Amino acid sequence: MASVMVVTGGNRGIGHAVCSRLAGEGHKVLLVARDPERGRRAAESIPGDVEFVAGDLSTTASVRRLADELRARCPRVDVLIHNAGLWPSRRVLTSDGVEESFAVNHLAPFLLNHLLEDRLGRVVQVSAGLYVKGRAEPGRTSVGADFSAMRTYADTKLCNLLTVPLFAERWREAGITIDAVHPGVIRTGLGDRGGPTGWLLKAVKRKWATPEEGAGPVVALAGGTGTGRYFDRAEEAPLQGPALDGELARRVWAEAETLTAVR
């Protein structure tokens, strides 16, 4: 029986390239995207066993609906790849009252991990090397206090990465594994802007690696067996700075439990 792979943010960029690689290896792929039209088009463009699943990751209610849909379709999720990400250009609060990129980049993976953990085999968290520039402040990061596009993105990635070792420990006896990976600086639509700044960014991005190159480390980890590790592309790398703060990690975890109302 083919392994079941769930990929969030699979309609474009690294996510689409990951879905294509996994389907090409013979896996059953569930491509999760928020926009139904783009998601279906993306799934149909990939040869193999690929299904589109509508999933909005910006609120706890919509994440719960996605989890219900995945549970209805999959008695087991062999690999869950958290690829979806948001690089905000301005401070936007969701209907839950949290900053939007915090919701998508951190709370959504946290909640999906909990809601699907009874049928998970492995989790791969797509991270970002910019986590080293982040600062996790429970009660402030969640609402986008002192918002700045670069720092807020880094803050959310740090929050997310702080929970990876805690999930690894939580799941150790159950045999579920989780690793995080920075796929490199990749030429995708993440962080695109309008106006002169956007034009300059597009020019710079031409020198960056392709989504297909970024998909390589993610797909490699999908077949891995280790847990609690962080990879900088193909190489395992030690966490740095605040990502090593175990007490901070527990505070970030406790806040996420409260905000998502997980038991």
153 is catalytic: yes
Q: Find the angle CA(234)-CA(181)-CA(242) to the nearest 5 degrees.
A: 120
Residue ranges of the alpha helices (H) in 83-148?
100-102, 108-116
The pLDDT value recorded for residue 204 is 42
CATH class of 4-260: alpha beta
The pLDDT of residue 201 is: 42
**Tens place of pLDDT per residue across the chain (263 aa):** 689 999 999 999 999 999 999 999 999 999 999 999 999 999 999 999 999 999 999 999 999 999 999 999 999 999 999 999 999 999 999 999 999 999 999 999 999 999 999 999 999 999 999 999 999 999 999 999 999 999 999 999 999 999 999 999 999 999 999 999 999 876 555 555 455 544 444 444 455 578 899 999 999 999 999 999 999 999 999 999 999 999 999 999 999 999 999 97
215: nearest Cα among 81, 29, 121, 105:
81
Distance CA 102, CA 145 (A): 11
State how far the Cα of 64 lies from the Cα of 3, in Å rounded to an integer: 23
> Is the full-model pTM beyond 0.75?
yes
Closest alpha carbon to 116 in 72, 66, 67, 164: 67
Closest CA to 180 of 191, 167, 199: 167
pLDDT at 205 (0 to 100): 41
Distance from C-alpha of 82 to C-alpha of 5, rounded to nearest angstrom: 11
At residue 184, the pLDDT reads 85
Selection from 120, 138, 112 nearest residue 60 by Cα: 112
Per-residue pLDDT, 193: 47
Which residue among the candidates 52, 87, 153, 231 is catalytic per the annotation?
153
Can you give the residue ranges of every domain in the chain? 4-260
Alpha-carbon gap, residue 99 to 85, rounded angstroms: 13
DSSP 8-state class, residue 263: -
| CA torsion angle 155 156 158 162 (round to 10) | 140
